[in-house]
Structure 1
Amino acid sequence: MLPNRYQFHAVEPRLIRLWADAQTYAFDATGSGPIYTIDTPPATVSGELHLGHCYSYTQTDVIARFQRMRGRRVLYPMGFDDNGLPTERFVEKTIKRKATDMDRADFLAQCSKLTQETEDRFEKIWRRLSLSGDWNYRYSTLSSTVQRTSQWSFIQLYQSGRAYAQIAPTLWCADCQTAIAQAELEDKTLPTLFTTFAFRLPDGTSLPIATTRPELLPACVAIFVHPDDKRYKHLIDQTASIDSAAFSSQAVIQVLILADEAVDPDKGSGAVMCCTFGDSTDVRWWRIHQLPLRAAIGRDGRMTALAGPLAGLAIPAARKKILQSLAEQALILQQETIEHTVGIHERCGTPVEYLQTRQWFIRILDQKERFIEAGRQIRWTPEYMRSRYEHWVENLQWDWCISRQRFLGIPFPAWTCRACGTLLLATQEELPIDPRLKGPNRSCACGSTDFEPEMDVMDTWATSSCSPLIIGRWMDDPDWFQQHFPANLRPQGHDIIRTWAFYTIIKSLYHCNVSPWQEIMISGHALSAERSKISKSKNNSSDGPLSIIEQESADALRYWATSIKPGNDTVFNPEALAMGRRLITKLWNACRFAESRLQDLDTATLNRQPEDLLPTDRWLLSRLAHTITFATRQLEQSDYAAARAEVERFFWADLCDNYLELTKSRLYKGEGADRHAAQWTLYHTLLNVLKLFAPYIPFVTEEIYLGLFQQWDGCASIHIASWPVARDNWFDEQAENAGKLLLEIIRQVRRHKAEQGLSVGAPLESIKLTISAAEIPMLQAAQCDLQSATRAHTLDFRLQQAGDAELLAPWKMEILLSKV
């Protein structure tokens, strides 16, 4: 018996234990059904999980549960991304010490301890939310298995000529003290002082230069003008100079004036400094025009010896000093504050620099068309997200920088021979290996055994981009790999299309020459009340997931998370939680009502449809068939929100508001074939509705199933029961038309009662209906249900006559109030 009230506080933890003990969601490796593999995002260990994670991961879980009920053998592994800069900064913040201030081994020990504790908390929250992942396949990107996969990926890319080391201008974060990739660069608009100052020309006149970065003056190597700019055309190939003893190791900076079409004549003065390096344009000019390299800013974000008296100053202080010096020389011509777009590191918000450093890269710029075509082989949900991917690929300017100058990460499995400079790679048998701790097991071809280990580590994306290879056991199990690669689904946020999606496609193409998944489902973000993305770094979630779950229930939180279409952002909405609670309560009460009506259900005839269903029954079954068909189609297209909305509409309106009202008399006091028809219809409808809701609200549907429907349906859990299938004979257009007429009659009666100040349940003496001959048999067959819903003592049907021209509808109704 179902209790009077549903108590989620007791039910949800109990069912979590039940599912864990029964291995309800375990992948069936030896079964025969089709496999459905999900390349799930390994959550970054860089803070605590928040509502944004619940939002996106629940959406994936709905698809996993749907596919499992459809008979697929679902491999739904859960992983944690804990090998890179985000985790390292998280550990530094937690222990309140910088990695650079500690012994490397001690710091890595702290990382290991904290990541394990954090990942265990993550798993607890995911289980509490009822993510149906198979925890037997939990993985960490810092585990030895994953390190081995990532290192072997690098070795293969190097051997194929795709990975290379180079001393070159690199995006650099002075706060994180590491190189970064283009995908980690974000634009931020900031108020900036735009200064126009004067260089001196050989004839003593001035050449105005406008800049937002005067601190780069010591690194100035040229001035560029547009070749067609009439103001400066005569100055091309001449020199310009400026007195610089106050801010440079040189007393005078003297540079050539060169021409380049990339100069915008309408921006600033139309004459532009080229400094090594202020931005990507400086890098381009430096390469094309073979300019000298002068580095004024060091890796620590402070001025170098090139800045003379300003060496060692942080950038803001140096900028202030240089402007002061220019003002003292009366060289400032104009100053104004403008809104300026600055490139910042997404991890810490620090403006990036362009520094000449040795880094490892993966060659990608020569493969743009291939990457775009690979993206087009994948189904994108929503489809318009593919344009974001293509736009990113089309606008790439740099090869993928994969090296980082940090402690926590997977090391490059390589050494350089100190004798001859040859790079020696680890063998597959040596992996995983840390070359900083262990040398190669062989000598160099030149005979030397003296090696310099690679000291950098790989960027976290260089490893997480291997996720389909990792879960596919790429290195170790060819049969398993063939079964699970390419994966069926990649779910992820739209903010990492340019990183995780793009990088994974690169690795898949380079290693396997195929796209890594059949479909990519893009989720939106959960937003704070201020409409900013809820994130670990911003710590802007008002409540943690566990506190909301304990207060509102996991099912209610999942209801909110699946209310918005794929790809859309949404503000966290407590009203959606309330709507979820109302649905849970209504579902529970509807099933409790049905429980007492179904106690004497003839189980021998459950799978045999009664021949004498009433029009009301046939109408509901037809509506159910359409609902099942629509929901199934939408879920196959990963539109969980549209599917749920239609199931809800059917449950609230067709089943609860109308059918249960129409059939109460048959279910309460009926007997014989009419009662059996209502029982049979109610049983199949409620069971199917329960299954349609199961992927969304797994706890309450399981509790109802085990307490009521399992005795007849026979599965150990609703979540491994068969997904609803609409029977062909349920589709009945005639019954649906009949149902529309019945519902319109009921609507008119209810409106009449409201106008008379009567309750919906108030009795009526009679209802007289004038109707066409074609409708009378149906209404007569449904008379008991119509009387039940309207509370009419009698129903009188009058055949519509040819003279009834005044009728504006195919029927009219006269209602007599009860005299009681």
Structure 2
Amino acid sequence: MVSEVPEDYNPSSLETKILKNWDDIDIYAKLKELRSSGPKFYFLDGPPYMNGVPHIGHARTRALRDPVLKYKSMNGYNVWHQPGFDMHGLPIEVKIEEILGTKTKSDIEKIGTELFIKSCKERGLSFLKIWIDFYKRFGMIGDFENPYMTLSNSYIESSWYFFKKAWEKNLLYKGKATVAWCPRCETPLSGYEATDEYKDVEDDSIYVKFPLVDRPDEYIIIWTTTPWTIPANVAVAVNPKYEYVRVKAGSEVWIVAKELLEKLMLLFEIEDYEIIETIKGKNLLGLKYRHILEDEVPVHKKFNEPNAHTIVVTDYVTLEDGTGCVHTAPGHGPDDYSAGVEFKLPIFSPVNETGNFTDEAGKYKGMYIKDANDIIIDDIEDKGFLVLRDSVFHRYAHCWRCKSPLLYRASDQWFIRVEAIKNQILKENKKVKWVPDWAGEKRFHNWIEGARDWCISRQRFWGIPLPIWECSCGSIEVVSSLDEIASLGGIIPDDLHKPYIDEVKLKCPKCSKNMKRVSDIADVWFDSGASSW
């Protein structure tokens, strides 16, 4: 029976009375006791991020979740109602940097890592009561006295179990790879983070000719929108299946993709040209060329790898843009890196953590990569190797937190072998009931198929410390618990975050020397993923 709403109806007042009544009778405890012998229903509350107040999106998702849990409980199930909160990561770090006035990692180290960590912790915890009050006022029922928090020691310790098991199964390894990198945050980003923020920007667009060895006046033509990577070039890639032409242009012979020839000659304003020979891309494999900046970057004269400065063949070369001949710098691109590994090329990356050229860059050392573009282009032009200089408007990846332009650079990192277990993940995904079904059958399936090994290490401060200790003798220990730390002679700190965990030394089982923890923390996306155990 529906009654009329009284004129003095006050929803806020009624809400307060109901919440007080639930609190007085301890409704959650009564519910858990009542359903304690019922079949278990486990629900993982994906943790919201603690760097702001709840918004309408959070209200919407909770409005979808909470009725399901109450429905299950009303049907006799013993429901797991534990809320969770994600409290690590760059978003909090960036906010604390704004408050403290720091701009770089070195600034943080100057004021003290301990102060920075304490400030990050206070920031994360400051939103806890706001969120729990939001849940309660929203009419949700849960174990609000015992939420899981990614910053707690117990959560950090339980997450270490993953790394231990991955190490035992040979799924955790240290390697050098080309990863997306934020020069402002001085840390790598995962593949999905690197595609999370794009901006339309104008960049230089240049066509360059590389002179072939033992073929006077013959060149292979490349195109790039990142002139700063030319100093790191070690190969030119062509597609083995495409047709290429040796074309007479003036007194020179150029090699480009046949399908793009007419378009390129129009762009270069060259009317008088002649095709001398048509060649399959696979037949260009192994041709040597001379690096056009070998005087400015002398390290190019010292590479011992036999395939350095050669033409290689790869399937990722397309005919959508450019010349069909791709400038390849394994130290500054994921596809380039794959080609570098396949053809045993130098993984040359003369760029440091802040995006400045290192000593290996020769003439350009100390310059910020974007600032060096004009100088590099001028040098190429002065040496007679610039075919065309233009500009292009395109979408370029930026850091999703600090909004700085990203770059790719090779660095030593810790990885999880995703590709080794990809087929197993795809099989398990088919067992999951997805709603709607296309989310799992298509979107998630396709994402898994394209996944590469996961760069799980980050060179930052506020996060789960990697439980990895290294010894000067080469031994590595990956621990899974505080008990394991103690068994190896380590003194357990009150707080497992940096800088306290960095002070913990373990006794090497092989040589008895002190082992030092690697300074990295885990990718913050690992934090929420670890909540399932």
Q: Give yes or no for TM over 0.5.
A: yes
- The root-mean-square deviation of aligned C-alpha atoms, in Å, is 2.8
Q: For residue 223 of structure 2, give the secondary structure of its aligned residue in structure 1.
A: strand
1:199 is aligned to 210
Q: 1:426: Cα distance to partner?
A: 3.4
State whether structure 2 residue 220 is matched by structure 1 residue 220.
Answer: no
1:715 is aligned to none
Which residues of structure 1 form unaligned runs of 5+?
A: 470-820
2:505 is aligned to 439
Asked whether the equivalents of residues 436 and 453 of structure 1 are also in contact (C-alpha less than 8 Å), the reply is yes
1:190 is aligned to 200
Q: Distance in 1 between matches of 2:47 and 2:314?
A: 46
Q: For residue 464 of structure 1, give the secondary structure of its aligned residue in structure 2.
A: helix
Cα deviation per residue 1:704-743 (whole Å; 9 max; x = unaligned)? xxxxxxxxxxxxxxxxxxxxxxxxxxxxxxxxxxxxxxxx
State whether structure 2 residue 410 is matched by structure 1 residue 356.
Answer: yes
Q: 1:352: Cα distance to partner?
A: 3.4
Asked whether the equivalents of residues 44 and 87 of structure 1 are also in contact (C-alpha less than 8 Å), the reply is no
Q: 1:52 to 1:320 in 2, by over 3 A?
A: farther
Letter in 2 for 1:238: L
Letter in 2 for 1:185: A
The aligned runs of 1:13-412 (5 Å cut-off) are: 13-26=16-29, 28=32, 31-98=36-103, 99-186=108-195, 188=198, 190-191=200-201, 192-201=203-212, 202-227=215-240, 228-231=242-245, 232=255, 233=279, 236-241=285-290, 243-244=292-293, 248-249=297-298, 255-265=309-319, 267-386=321-440, 387-396=442-451, 398-412=452-466
Q: 1:392: Cα distance to partner?
A: 0.1
Q: Distance in 2 between matches of 1:237 and 1:159?
A: 40
Q: 1:343 to 1:365 in 2, by over 3 A?
A: farther
Q: 1:365: Cα distance to partner?
A: 0.6
1:416 is aligned to 470
Q: 1:213: Cα distance to partner?
A: 0.9
Cα deviation per residue 1:179-208 (whole Å; 9 max; x = unaligned)? 222232216363443221222334124432
2:9 is aligned to 6
Q: 1:236 to 1:168 in 2, by over 3 A?
A: closer
Letter in 1 for 2:437: E
Q: Distance in 1 between matches of 2:312 and 2:510?
A: 47
Q: Distance in 1 between matches of 2:455 and 2:42?
A: 30
| TM-score normalised by length of structure 1 | 0.53
Q: 1:423 to 1:335 in 2, by over 3 A?
A: same
Which residues of structure 2 form unaligned runs of 5+?
A: 246-254, 256-278, 303-307, 486-491
Q: 1:226 to 1:410 in 2, by over 3 A?
A: closer
Asked whether the equivalents of residues 51 and 123 of structure 2 are also in contact (C-alpha less than 8 Å), the reply is no
1:691 is aligned to none
Q: 1:92 to 1:14 in 2, by over 3 A?
A: farther
Count of aligned pairs between the two proteins: 465
Letter in 2 for 1:23: D
Give % identity: 25
State whether structure 2 residue 513 is matched by structure 1 residue 449.
Answer: yes
Asked whether the equivalents of residues 243 and 252 of structure 1 are also in contact (C-alpha less than 8 Å), the reply is no
Q: 1:190 to 1:279 in 2, by over 3 A?
A: farther
Asked whether the equivalents of residues 229 and 265 of structure 1 are also in contact (C-alpha less than 8 Å), the reply is no
Q: 1:394: Cα distance to partner?
A: 0.9
Q: Distance in 1 between matches of 2:192 and 2:72?
A: 33
Q: For residue 443 of structure 2, give the secondary structure of its aligned residue in structure 1.
A: helix
Letter in 2 for 1:309: K
Q: Distance in 2 between matches of 1:205 and 1:34?
A: 76
Q: 1:299 to 1:114 in 2, by over 3 A?
A: same
Q: 1:292 to 1:252 in 2, by over 3 A?
A: closer
Q: 1:89 to 1:57 in 2, by over 3 A?
A: farther
Q: For residue 157 of structure 2, give the secondary structure of its aligned residue in structure 1.
A: helix
Q: Distance in 2 between matches of 1:430 and 1:91?
A: 33
1:425 is aligned to 478
Asked whether the equivalents of residues 247 and 322 of structure 1 are also in contact (C-alpha less than 8 Å), the reply is no
Cα deviation per residue 1:195-242 (whole Å; 9 max; x = unaligned)? 212223341244322111111111010122334533144765333335
Asked whether the equivalents of residues 92 and 123 of structure 2 are also in contact (C-alpha less than 8 Å), the reply is no
Q: Distance in 1 between matches of 2:347 and 2:398?
A: 23
Q: Distance in 2 between matches of 1:245 and 1:352?
A: 26
Higher gyration radius (CA): 1
Letter in 1 for 2:525: W
Q: 1:245 to 1:261 in 2, by over 3 A?
A: closer
More helix by share: 1
Which structure has more RCO (C-alpha within 8 Å, separation ≥ 6)?
A: 2
Q: Distance in 2 between matches of 1:179 and 1:311?
A: 22
Q: Distance in 1 between matches of 2:93 and 2:20?
A: 34
Q: 1:245 to 1:239 in 2, by over 3 A?
A: closer
Q: 1:244 to 1:166 in 2, by over 3 A?
A: closer
Q: Distance in 2 between matches of 1:268 and 1:167?
A: 29
Q: For residue 28 of structure 1, give the secondary structure of its aligned residue in structure 2.
A: helix
Asked whether the equivalents of residues 85 and 408 of structure 1 are also in contact (C-alpha less than 8 Å), the reply is yes
Cα deviation per residue 1:278-330 (whole Å; 9 max; x = unaligned)? 32220111011101122132211122223333222222211222223334445
Asked whether the equivalents of residues 41 and 77 of structure 2 are also in contact (C-alpha less than 8 Å), the reply is yes
| TM-score normalised by length of structure 2 | 0.79
Q: Distance in 1 between matches of 2:418 and 2:292?
A: 43
Letter in 2 for 1:320: D
Q: Distance in 1 between matches of 2:428 and 2:293?
A: 53
Q: Distance in 1 between matches of 2:453 and 2:335?
A: 16
Q: Distance in 2 between matches of 1:467 and 1:65?
A: 22
The aligned runs of 1:490-501 (5 Å cut-off) are: none
Letter in 2 for 1:16: L
Q: For residue 331 of structure 2, give the secondary structure of its aligned residue in structure 1.
A: coil
Q: For residue 413 of structure 2, give the secondary structure of its aligned residue in structure 1.
A: strand
Cα deviation per residue 1:30-70 (whole Å; 9 max; x = unaligned)? 62233322200111123333222222222212222333333
Cα deviation per residue 1:74-116 (whole Å; 9 max; x = unaligned)? 3221111112233322332344435344311111111122211
Asked whether the equivalents of residues 245 and 308 of structure 1 are also in contact (C-alpha less than 8 Å), the reply is no
Q: Distance in 1 between matches of 2:293 and 2:112?
A: 42
